[in-house]
Amino acid sequence: MRISIFGLGYVGCISLGCLAKNGHFMIGVDVNEIKVNLINQGLPTIIEKDIDLIIKEQYEKGNLYATTNYREALLNTDITIICVGTPSTDNGHLNLDYIFETARQIATVLKEKDSFHYIAIRSTVHPGTNYKVGEIIENISGKKRNEDFAIISNPEFLREGSAVYDYYNPPYTVLGSDNEKALNIMEDIYKDINAPVIKVDIEVAEIIKYINNSFHALKITFANEIGNICKSIGIDSHQVMELVTLDKQLNLSPYYLKPGFAFGGSCLPKDLKGLRLIAHDNYINVPLLDGIEKSNENQKLKVIQIIEKINSKNIGIIGLSFKPNTDDFRYSPLVEVAEHFLGKGYNLFIYDKNLNLSNLIGVNKDYIQKNIPHLSKLLSKNIDDVIDKSDIIIISQKFNDIEKCIEKYPNKYFVDLIRVTDKKYSNYEGICW
């Protein structure tokens, strides 16, 4: 492929060299003549392990060069990858001026081109940028998106200090576009990369870099707070975190990383509170750990807000226990939601396949008698009975023919806490999707 790279900073220089090494003819574009001159001397524009050798080798082979003339680069390539900077403004917002200026440059040249052009956005941008770039190009060039050009969101996952290694060994290659041919072209470009290619919605591709980096920041902050607590009571925090990271079943897995309803049960809330008390007793400030409970309460409130905006007092709850496949509903967040609506005078109808009032003993029975003495009147042995009597159905457990049920009752509103379907219905709402 003949590919132009706009922006010869960190991401652009790495992409220029590595794509050339993979057999593509590359033209780098930058307004900075110093960067252009460096490339044209076989030198990289950044300090990074191995990129100097790659740039030198590929320049000597005639596989790459750089220019300040964007028109020349665009007319002589079929694909353009945008790698220009997106710095933060003083108030923290993303400055997309360089992205939009590049879009305008591309547009002016596309007026002259008869061939189809592919544009990939590699820079970190917020959702909606892909479409905005398309609008700019259409308005200036007179060309039509997906008829004359296509835009692909293609975020990078490079770490300074290991960028070349990361280029060839990413966790995945993410591609987002509304053009299938463009997706296939970009997939072919990355065929030599040792990673799966994941094709997603454009907005997903645009936001994933923010999510990943925020998660990394979360992990660092969490480890630091654990370290501060452990140090205050004479425990080796590194030994502790080594044990944490050895657990691939729960600690390092997708199990808990699925957006949905609040956590509950007899363990997580209690143990979180216990750890926070250890910190506070030892005068350790742990704002991240303190914020978890508040965030969890907000998720309960979100369900209440969704229900209250619907004009009905008849609520069905499918699943009352704090998680599926258990009859333990002590400290279930749904019990708190039920208590709220009972206090507001709503009519509640509850079904839980694992909850049989007659078989409850011990702490679960005591919990009912103490906290929700009217629960026996609310429980039903038949899920159809609950759905028939309710105008709003809260789904916290899967059951057979869920989608058929949603379709069967268009006048009933289904509030999903666990993502039972990917389809969109007018009478269906996910708690956070």
For the stretch 326-348, pLDDT in tens is 767 767 899 889 989 999 999 99
What would you report as the CA-atom Rg of the chain, rounded to the nearest whole angstrom?
28
How does residue 156 score in pLDDT terms, banded at 50, 70 and 90? very high
Q: Where are the domains of the chain?
A: 2-200, 297-430
Residue 206 clears pLDDT 60, i.e. is over it: yes
CATH code 3.40.50.150 for 297-430: no
How does residue 146 score in pLDDT terms, banded at 50, 70 and 90? very high
To which residue do tokens 């008829």 refer? 147
DSSP, collapsed to helix, strand or coil, labels residue 140 as helix
What pTM was computed for the model? Answer: 0.86
Longest dimension (CA), the chain: 83
DSSP 123: S
User: Which residues on adjacent β-strands are paired with residue 145?
Assistant: 149
For 196, other C-beta atoms within 10 Å of its C-beta total 10
Residue 92 clears pLDDT 90, i.e. is over it: no
Question: Which residues have CB under 8 Å from 52's CB, separation 6+?
Answer: 43, 44
- Mean predicted confidence (pLDDT) in 399-418: 94
DSSP, collapsed to helix, strand or coil, labels residue 29 as strand
User: Which of 86-95, 247-256, 387-396, 414-423 comes out lowest in average pLDDT?
Assistant: 86-95
Cα–Cα distance measured from residue 13 to residue 92, given in angstroms and rounded to the nearest whole number = 26
Answer for the pair 182, 205: CB distance below 8 angstroms, yes or no. no
- Domain 2-200: give its CATH superfamily: NAD(P)-binding Rossmann-like Domain (3.40.50.720)
How does residue 426 score in pLDDT terms, banded at 50, 70 and 90? very high
With CA atoms as reference, report the closest residue to 153 among 171, 179, 174, 134: 174
pLDDT of residue 324: 74
Cα–Cα distance measured from residue 316 to residue 44, given in angstroms and rounded to the nearest whole number = 64
Answer for the pair 84, 124: CB distance below 8 angstroms, yes or no. no
Residue bearing the bigger pLDDT, 94 or 306: 306
pLDDT of residue 91: 81
- Mean predicted confidence (pLDDT) in 92-114: 95
| Active site (catalytic) residues | 267
Cα–Cα distance measured from residue 285 to residue 276, given in angstroms and rounded to the nearest whole number = 9
| Mean pLDDT for all residues in the chain | 93
For 273, other C-beta atoms within 10 Å of its C-beta total 12
